[in-house]
A and B are shown apart, each in its own frame.
Chain A
Amino acid sequence: MSPAMAARSPASGVPWTTYLALAPAVVVLVLLLVVPLTATVYLSLSPNVLVQFEGPGLDNFAYLFGKPYYVDVLVRTLRISFVTALIVLVVGYPAAYVLKDLSERTGGALIIALTFPILTGPLIIVLGWMILLSDGGPLIRPLVRLGLGGPWRLLGTEAAIVVGLVHFTLPFVVLTIYSSLKQIPNDLVEAARSLGAGAAQVFRRVVWPLSLPGVLSASIIAFSLAASAYVSPHYLGGATRLTLTTLVAQFILATYNGEMAAAAAVVLLAIMAAIIFLFTRAVSRYVR
């Protein structure tokens, strides 16, 4: 919230109706999100068919971290999310930079086009990637026909998951960086130029530092979207490339082990909380 907003009315004169108006949303969020998550945390500490102990205890987590198979799932989730965030920033920053300098009309239309993948949702888009990346699909088949090698497999690899996630997160990242670039006053750029700075120097000394908060929040968005994505890992990675989200689903849908699903979910939440915390601290250092 902007400081102006907070300054508008001192907290002392808040009418009781404000609390009344705020209450429904807060109550809904507590009852339908906080309480259910508490149930999940409770179950993650409970014994089950796979791990037997006198609950509540941390044995489910010890079990998960003790099996190389599950450690692989955790490491894969982190690796995929970091690689996705990195690629998306490297591609998204220049894209946002070019978009920023386009005319109102063209730029506006292109920004709208960027929202289509968000609005259609990942399930529908992933179908397109399954077609494109399949063995007989339009990307691999021509290469094999031309005798350029292969046959390659793309579906069922981590690379395929990353392609899907880069596609899924790119619009969010471009939009975030775009709006932070738009907020840089043109006067600053002009001033730097009139003082003799070249294009590279203007970028390195003025634009880049000022866009850094946007870049950092875009990183948070990219990482958390990638780590919490379910559709891309499920369809493009498959059963041999599980991530924490698909592991949660497998525990429920395949083995119906709610306690282990809860433990995997808690691990995922903990990772995301840690990453978001670290990034937010980095952001606040620059925003000051």
Chain B
Amino acid sequence: MTAAARIGARVFLGIVYVFVIGPAVVIIVDSFNAATSFPSPFEGATLRWYVGLLRHDEFVASMRMSAIVATLAAAIATLLGLSAGYALIRHPPRGADAVATFMMGPLFVPQIVIGLAMLQLLGLFRVQLTLAGLVAVHTVYVMPFTLRLVMTALARFDFGLEEAAHSLGAGRLATLRHVTLPLIRTGLVAGFVFAFILSFVNLPLSIFLTNPQTATLPIVMFAYMESRIDPLVAAVSSVVVIAAVAVTFTLEGVFKLRLLG
């Protein structure tokens, strides 16, 4: 590549990244904006929106609810993904490919349709909207991610180690606990964390399935943004952006783990 072409390539990449990161930067900057009307030019820095956020009971409660739903969905999906992933890799049955493809199915159904379908199933059986329905759709949606990460980890796992443990007298469960699980730990952690984050920030899955008691953070943001947009929602969003960035760097730093790519 000539020098000019190389510079051109870097400039192009820079523009792409300004585009990719730009909106998040705008949100963070505006969350410190002292102006009350929105959008408006920056009128001085303030932390009052963050203080306001802590005092806003609905946002605080919804963050708790999102954390509960995301923890349950990610935990269930990780267990299911571990079990299924182990089965598919250790002794692939006939049609393992087809099963693996089927398991990726939720990725190709629009999330709003997953939520609609659950709403309509509950409706047909006249079941009230509960936390269970919400956790159910979130679990279905995140399971492909936990399964895929477990399968990637297991594909690199040397099953000879299991046989070695067996021959040394370890039982099935002891082998799983002391040999297999520790060695695929990164895949499990990545799957859980990724599933948790995807569930935590998801709006369309929950939109038909929440009631005031089970409103998650994105649902409360959605309701809030219907009536007004102010630096308070920017503050809420900034918290999520910063948390996501922190989680990504922690995983990269501590576990040498990349969630994607």
**Residue among A25, A40, A127, A252 making CB contact with B83, cutoff 8 Å:** A25
The distance in angstroms between the C-alpha atoms of A1 and B92, with both chains bound, is 10
Chain B: interface residue total (CB-CB under 8 A): 94
CB distance from B224 to the nearest CB of A (A): 11
Residues 219 to 261 of chain B near chain A (Cβ within 8 Å): 221-222, 225, 229, 233-234, 237, 240-241, 244-245, 247-249, 252, 258-261
CB distance from A220 to the nearest CB of B (A): 9
Residue of A nearest to B147 (CB): A25
As a 0/1 sequence over residues 187 to 208 of chain B, the CB contacts with chain A under 8 angstroms (1 = contact) are 0000000000110111110011
The distance in angstroms between the C-alpha atoms of A28 and B140, with both chains bound, is 8
How many A-B pairs have beta carbons closer than 8 Å: the answer is: 275
CB distance from A141 to the nearest CB of B (A): 8
**Residue among B9, B113, B261 making CB contact with A40, cutoff 8 Å:** B113
**Residue among A33, A138, A167 making CB contact with B109, cutoff 8 Å:** A33
On whether the beta carbons of B112 and A32 are closer than 8 Å, the reply is no
User: Is the C-beta of B65 less than 8 angstroms from some C-beta in chain A?
Assistant: no
On whether the beta carbons of A22 and B155 are closer than 8 Å, the reply is no
As a 0/1 sequence over residues 112 to 133 of chain B, the CB contacts with chain A under 8 angstroms (1 = contact) are 1110111111011000000000
Residue of A nearest to B247 (CB): A119
CB distance from A63 to the nearest CB of B (A): 18
**Hey, which chain B residues are within 8 Å of A136, CB to CB?**
39-40
**Hey, which chain A residues are within 8 Å of B120, CB to CB?**
36, 39-40, 43, 258, 262
**Hey, which chain B residues are within 8 Å of A40, CB to CB?**
113, 116-117, 120
Residue of A nearest to B27 (CB): A128
User: Is the C-beta of B89 less than 8 angstroms from some C-beta in chain A?
Assistant: yes
On whether the beta carbons of A19 and B112 are closer than 8 Å, the reply is no
CB distance from B247 to the nearest CB of A (A): 7
User: Is the C-beta of A228 less than 8 angstroms from some C-beta in chain B?
Assistant: yes
**Residue among B16, B27, B110, B155 making CB contact with A5, cutoff 8 Å:** B155
